Structure 1
Amino acid sequence: MTNQPKAVLLDIDGTLIDSNDAHARAWVDVGREFGRDIEFDRVRRLIGMGGDKVLPELTGLEEDTDEGQKIKERRGEIFREQYLSTLNAFPGARELLQRFRDDGYTLVVATSASKEDMDALLKQAGIQDLIEEKTSSSDAEESKPDPDIVQAALKSADAKPDEAVMMGDTPYDVTASGRAGVRCVALRCGGWGDDDLRDAVAVYDDPADLLARYAQSPFARG
């Protein structure tokens, strides 16, 4: 029997804030700076995984190499300097998080983003004050779709897998949560289709759509 959930594990990029395209563009830009041809469409399908997985997929470099580290650091700088200030939270994002809090949920960020990017994104989205706990790439040995970050978020929330629900927007969120034994509710606003998100327990357009149908959602209190 599934326990009544007490924690919501939250992805940020593409779930609460419209940032996936910007992350992809930052990868294209950093590739250009380092003389590497990175195609937008290719990297866009990788957004949602951690940089430790995206980097070798695009360049063949591991993040512990000198050039790999420089590319990762510079990509983060480009994203924060050129794109971050242009991003907006998805409709209903803050209201949905407030509803979670009103229902007594513990809210924990579970993101493959770096801590620096995570803090900046939460501030840009105007939701940093609603989050109790935060886990980022620095809290996990392996990033999504490996389950490490979800497991770290569970520990932070002091919750068992069946006491939490993950909310994300990519198949990497769905896979990572599934590997950790956590149900995942997916949102289409990150750019992925229903077939990509088919293993989620429910799929909604965006936070506003989930909020509008909250009473029938996996988050509804019995």
Structure 2
Amino acid sequence: MTLQGVLLDIDGTLVLSNDAHAQTWVEAFAAYGYEIEFEQVRPMIGMGGDKIITKLVPGLTKESGDGQAIDERRKELVLNQYAAQMAPAKGGRELVLKMQEAGLHLVVASSASKEELETLLKAAQVEDLLEEATTSSDAESSKPAPDIVQAALDQGKFQPDRVVMLGDTPYDIESAGKAGVEVIAVRCGGFSDEQLSGAIAIYDDPADLLAHYDQSPLLKND
């Protein structure tokens, strides 16, 4: 069965943003009197912000107490301070062009807000290439729940076995797996091969996947 399309995570996959996101959480929590260490939050990057808040401060939610203010502060930091420091992942734009030339239908599957996603796509240098996307507003529950992946499947009108997802975190793998989608993982998000062991293949970054494109699951034909 020939592959129809690819679901694309952006953070950590096409743009090197995971450390920056962790730092914005540290600073946002600190602004409201919560002392959170970078090392506490970094392994959680890739799951939804609502889940990060509750895991770091049990009893606090995105909708109650300081949770909403913390999340808004984090978003401001991303948009106004840290986005300018984010570098594109090596080979990201070239890989997207290659997949499009190969006839693959690409849909972004991101938990970012629409405003954040626009900024991230610019940082990844692919904003002119990727038009179809799902954002946090398209999902009732964030990663590692399957909602975002399912929304991307629906938008692309895909069957789960006719696509793969490109991601960088164990939460991408868990989220996609619950929706019946296999994942190609990249290490540039900072997670170990053990943490990414649920992926069907692991590459250093988009450039590495591009270099091995002809032997990769992107040529799935079974």
**TM-score, normalized by the shorter chain, greater than 0.5:** yes
Partner AA of 2:68 in structure 1: Q
The aligned residue for residue 45 of structure 1 is: 43
Report the CA distance between 1:169 and its aligned residue: 0.2
| Residues 13 and 167, structure 2, Cα contact 8 Å, conserved in 1 | yes
- In 1, Cα distance between equivalents of 2:130 and 2:201: 23
Aligned pair count?
220
- In 1, Cα distance between equivalents of 2:66 and 2:171: 26
Q: How does 1:145-156 map to 2 (within 5 A)?
A: 145-156=144-155
- In 1, Cα distance between equivalents of 2:192 and 2:146: 22
Give 1:7's match in structure 2, choosing from 5, 8, 11: 5
Partner AA of 2:46 in structure 1: G
TM-score in terms of structure 2 length: 0.96
The aligned residue for residue 207 of structure 2 is: 208
1:22-79 C-alpha deviation (Å, 9 max, x unpaired): 0000001111111101110110000000111111111231111152111111110012
| Residues 106 and 132, structure 1, Cα contact 8 Å, conserved in 2 | no
- In 1, Cα distance between equivalents of 2:203 and 2:180: 21
% same residue? 53
Gaps of 5+ in 2: none
Partner AA of 1:36 in structure 2: Y
Partner AA of 2:44 in structure 1: L
Report the CA distance between 1:163 and its aligned residue: 1.0
The aligned residue for residue 68 of structure 2 is: 69
- In 2, Cα distance between equivalents of 1:33 and 1:201: 41
Indicate the SS of the match to 1:129. Answer: coil
Deviates more, 1:118-127 or 1:166-175: 118-127
What is the RMSD computed on CA atoms of the aligned residues?
Answer: 1.0
The aligned residue for residue 220 of structure 1 is: 219
| Residues 103 and 221, structure 1, Cα contact 8 Å, conserved in 2 | no
Deviates more, 1:158-167 or 1:59-68: 59-68
Give 2:26's match in structure 1, choosing from 25, 28, 43: 28
Indicate the SS of the match to 1:84. Answer: helix
Report the CA distance between 1:221 and its aligned residue: 6.2
TM-score in terms of structure 1 length: 0.96
The aligned residue for residue 172 of structure 2 is: 173
After superposing on structure 2, the runs of 4+ consecutive aligned residues of structure 1 that deviate more than 6 Å are: none
Deviates more, 1:63-72 or 1:15-24: 63-72
Indicate the SS of the match to 1:128. Answer: coil
Indicate the SS of the match to 1:219. Answer: helix
- In 2, Cα distance between equivalents of 1:85 and 1:66: 30
The aligned residue for residue 134 of structure 2 is: 135
